[in-house]
Amino acid sequence: MTELFLQSIRKLVEFTPEETEQFLSCLKRVCIPKKSFHLKAGEICTSVAFINSGMLRAYYTVNGEDITGEFIFEGNWISDYPSFLTKTPGKLYVEALEDSELFVLDYNKLQWLYTQSQNSERFGRLIAENLYIHLNNRIFSFLTEKPEDRYKNLIKRRPNVAERIPQHYIASYLGVRPESLSRIRKRMAAGDIS
């Protein structure tokens, strides 16, 4: 049941069996049915959560418009990390697009884990570094790439997005209107965009 979780951890750090046990003992299993919310803007996010199965969409609402920040699939972590770290109200909505099973780790438990071993600190550092790299890449993609290039890169690098995410959410992720994404897809199908 925790195999995916352990695989994900092993990519970052080599926990001892005791450290692994300690980490696992801090997790709480939570099920989020499709279309339900895991996080809501305005509330303080008090946990990070590993997605053991399912998929969620994280989005912001800016001037009444819905901006998709990220799609998060099984095997990854989800949090409103700035809210979690600063204990201030979050800006993120996180909604399950599929029935999802999460392993939730509360703020106090994570802070306690950090005090328990150098490996736990390393784990936290690498998670934060990866988040920073990802956010930076996402900004750069917006600053420097055309929407059609963003779309091509997205479906190339993350085929599960094309397979499992409705088109209007992909449009929102790319920062274009659904009708623009339709045009891009038609031009790609016609071979106008390679």
Q: Is the four-CA dihedral 127, 172, 31, 6 of positive or negative sign? A: negative
Whether the CB-CB separation of 108 and 87 falls below 8 Å is answered with no
CB of 62 or CB of 189, closer to a second copy:
62
Q: How far is the CB of 81 from a second copy (least distance, A)?
A: 6
CB of 31 or CB of 126, closer to a second copy:
126
* 3-state DSSP assignment of residue 95: strand
CB of 52 or CB of 79, closer to a second copy:
79
Whether the CB-CB separation of 55 and 72 falls below 8 Å is answered with yes
Q: How far is the CB of 163 from a second copy (least distance, A)?
A: 27
Distance CA 41, CA 80 (A): 9
Q: How far is the CB of 26 from a second copy (least distance, A)?
A: 17
Q: How far is the CB of 164 from a second copy (least distance, A)?
A: 26
Footprint of a second copy (CB under 8 A) = 60, 62-63, 67, 81-82, 85-86, 91, 114, 117-118, 121-122, 124-125, 128-129, 131-133, 135-137, 139-140, 143-144
CB of 37 or CB of 132, closer to a second copy:
132
3-state helix, strand, coil in the chain (%, to 5): 50, 25, 25
Rg (the chain; Cα; Å): 18
